[in-house]
Structure 1
Amino acid sequence: MGSKNKLKRFHENETFSNVVQPKREEILKGFSLKGKWNTFFKNDNPIVLELGCGKGEYTIALAQKDSTKNFIGIDIKGARFWRGAKTALEENLTNVGFIRTQIELINELFAENEVDEIWITFPDPQIKYKRTKHRLTNSDFLKKYHHILKENGVVNLKTDSEFMHGYTLGLLHGEGHEILHANHDVYKNTYSPEEVIGTQTFYEKQYLEKGKPITFIQFRINY
């Protein structure tokens, strides 16, 4: 993507009513929507997050299928989720929002027990050991998720990375978290949830064309 195109999308994001782009300092000093996301959506419906949402394809697809929940895509790359934000506005999806920020700041964006569900779709597995701290299912991130999730809130991990799948399963077992659903190939498993097999991202379709299995884990965090 050319720099001019990126700048155009950045400027458009600033005009979108469904995009929030707080500065890091603003977040750390006290984010105005923390604990008050019901004022953003103008309802008290359950909140579902997609972390590292990319183009926002999954956020949009889930929102299209369930108008009784509010969906928020989070990514630091605003030029990517511009597509999702624009689609939501074009289709008048009032249950969709996007935040441009680092996922590590999630506890500053949402209050304790404010979120009902989290989706992590095709994250960078950060295979090198020195990159462990950046894996979105490491212990530090799980503690952050646990803080903002409601008591029975769940986390969903969908990935093409066998490493990420195995690493996460091992961590969940080791720390005593509750695994609700897990399999190594969602399209060969007849018990795969509809929201898992009924939505495919651009990259997921490419993985499938190459014959790569798509894995899935749904779990609750217990601390």
Structure 2
Amino acid sequence: MRRRKKPGSKEKLLSYEDYLCKEPEKYKGRWKDYFHEEKLIHVELGTGRGQFITTLAEMNPHICYIGIEIKEEVLLRAVEKAVDKGLKNICFLWCDINKIHDIFDKNELSRIYINFCDPWPKKRWVQRRLTHRNFLEKYKYILGENGDVHFKTDNEKLFEFSLNELSYENFRLNNITFDLHHSETNDGITTEYEDKFSALGMKIYRCEGVKRN
């Protein structure tokens, strides 16, 4: 089914010039220049409506955050949250995650968050999963020393797949939980999807994969 776009979303999104980086490829290898700060850079792939990343940015002013999202009407909601909070350590990219290697250079990031991505359940779609080894190879390249991937999902099969892929790509697995909201590793920072799934009594799966040097 074709996604129905909300009229005016594109124009309004593009108007937020202080929060939307329109030509991210120009900052490959120099994102610290964009932020005018020598800080760690954390990226969320598929930032959605932005509850997760704007909460992190508000709590951690010593870190710079970048949220990537392809759906403009959804990204607009995230940008509006950042504006409402007056955040200075965050920006957003309206682009395809498949182009991540054109946006970030080797060792440029400290952390990548992947939250509730599309599970692409059919076998012929497996390479589209954001935890597929082809993507993980790209993440390893742009993550710096001891950089890590934090992954959350409500899909058990995708989680098991992701654990295997992370291991195959030689990431060190940390803090694996099959029921996050009943785990000591739960930090309480949630996404909109997470709140919805948890309210329905669904389990949330989470792990961290640390790049080996």
TM range (shorter): over 0.9
Aligned residue for 2:32, secondary structure, equals helix
Contact 2:45 2:114 in 1 (8 A): yes
Aligned residue for 2:8, secondary structure, equals helix
The answer to which of 10-19 and 139-148 deviates more is 10-19
Does the C-alpha gap of structure 1 residues 203 and 47 become closer, same or farther in structure 2, counting only changes over 3 Å? same
Which runs of structure 1 show a deviation greater than 6 angstroms over 4 or more consecutive aligned residues?
none
Residue identity (%): 29
Q: C-alpha root-mean-square deviation of aligned residues, in Å?
A: 1.7
The answer to which of 171-180 and 103-112 deviates more is 171-180
State the match for 1:21 in structure 2.
22
In 2, Cα distance between equivalents of 1:205 and 1:88: 19
Gaps of 5+ in 1: none
Query: Taking structure 1 as the reference length, what is the TM-score of the superposition?
Result: 0.89
Q: Pick the aligned partner of 2:119 from 120, 125, 137.
A: 125
State the match for 2:157 in structure 1.
163
Q: Pick the aligned partner of 1:206 from 196, 199, 202.
A: 196
Does the C-alpha gap of structure 1 residues 138 and 78 become closer, same or farther in structure 2, counting only changes over 3 Å? same
State the match for 2:55 in structure 1.
61
1:102 and 2:96 equivalent?
yes
In 2, Cα distance between equivalents of 1:175 and 1:51: 19
Deviation digits for residues 188-212 of structure 1 (CA, Å, limit 9, x no counterpart): 112x142xxx122222122112211
- What code does the residue aligned with 2:13 have? N
In 2, Cα distance between equivalents of 1:132 and 1:154: 22
In 1, Cα distance between equivalents of 2:30 and 2:7: 30
How many correspondences in the alignment?
210
Query: Taking structure 2 as the reference length, what is the TM-score of the superposition?
Result: 0.93
Listed as ranges, the matches of 1:10-159 within 5 Å are: 10-16=10-16, 17-22=18-23, 31-159=25-153
Deviation digits for residues 137-189 of structure 1 (CA, Å, limit 9, x no counterpart): 01110010001100110100011110111101122234432102201001111
In 2, Cα distance between equivalents of 1:133 and 1:92: 38
